[in-house]
Amino acid sequence: MTGWHWRVIALFSLVVPASRRVAWRREWQGELLHLERRLRARPDARSPHWRLFLRSLGAFTDASYLRLTAGVVWPPRILASWNPRTIAEAATQRLACLTMLFLPMKWVQSLSAVLAVHEFVVVLTFASGLTALDYWVARKFFKALQ
Amino acid sequence: MVLHAVSSGYAYGFDVMDETGLPSGTVYPALRRLEGLGLVKASWEKHEVAQKDLRPPRRYYELTGAGKEALADAVKRYRVLNRAFSGPRLRPVREGR
């Protein structure tokens, strides 16, 4: 399995409640692999990798929906008080997420199977910068969602 | 739209997307919600079928009895709305005229 869409799914699976994570990942993998094959069979298909990547991005909304409906207050740290320490934590998590994107796929999958760190993916979504403003936007977004 | 697509035989999430034109970030939460409401039922594709194609099994969705009723209601409501909007249109009131 090569391609950014597989990495995206492995990372976003961190948001899904642990009890549903395996089934969730299997469902997305099954659909993406099916689409990948279908696109590969069509020589006229335009930019298949880009299409697969775009499709995989929707997994974040799906994962967030499952997380929010599981009744878990999420993400606890972003909703907590806003101070230099929490900002520093968020920045570290963002860096960790970005690092995960470049790790070998096997490592990413085994990490996402073991970890229950929900902030990772929240953070990835807002990985536009390691700034306080970015953090503030994430905080507002999740407050609005809840 | 999602219920209609599922009832038309587009049982898989990505097929529903292709049929409705909705993005994946909309279709999947909608399917989860419909599943939670008991309007659709999800099952895994038979392992042998997937194995034959050398891929993981896909999860398919089908309408429940309640889902069929909800769809019939929605279609009826849509028809009423369609009739209301396709009739003679009232001229919008513009202020300052």
Q: Which residue of B has its CA nearest to A64?
A: B29
Q: Are A90 and A76 in contact (CB under 8 A)?
A: no
Identify the burial level of B43 via C-beta atoms within 10 angstroms of its C-beta, where 0-12 means exposed, 13-18 middle and 19 or more buried: exposed
* pLDDT at A72 exceeding the cut of 60: no
DSSP B97: -
- Which residues from B are below 8 Å from A33, CB to CB? 55-56
Mean pLDDT of A91-95: 64
User: Which range, of A12-21, A34-43, A57-66, A71-80, averages the lowest pLDDT?
Assistant: A71-80
Partner-chain residue, chosen from B23, B29, B59, that has the shortest CB–CB distance to A65: B29
Q: Are A31 and A6 in contact (CB under 8 A)?
A: no
User: Which range, of A8-12, A70-74, B5-9, B23-27, averages the lowest pLDDT?
Assistant: A70-74
**CA dihedral of residues B40, B42, B43, B44 (deg, nearest 10):** 140
Per-chain mean pLDDT for chain A: 68
Residue A132 to chain B, least CA–CA distance (Å): 27
| CA A91/CA A126 separation, integer angstroms | 11
Contacts of B21 (CB under 8 A, 6+ apart): none
Give the residues of chain B that fall short of pLDDT 50. Answer: 88-97
Q: B55 and A34: CB-CB below 8 Å?
A: yes
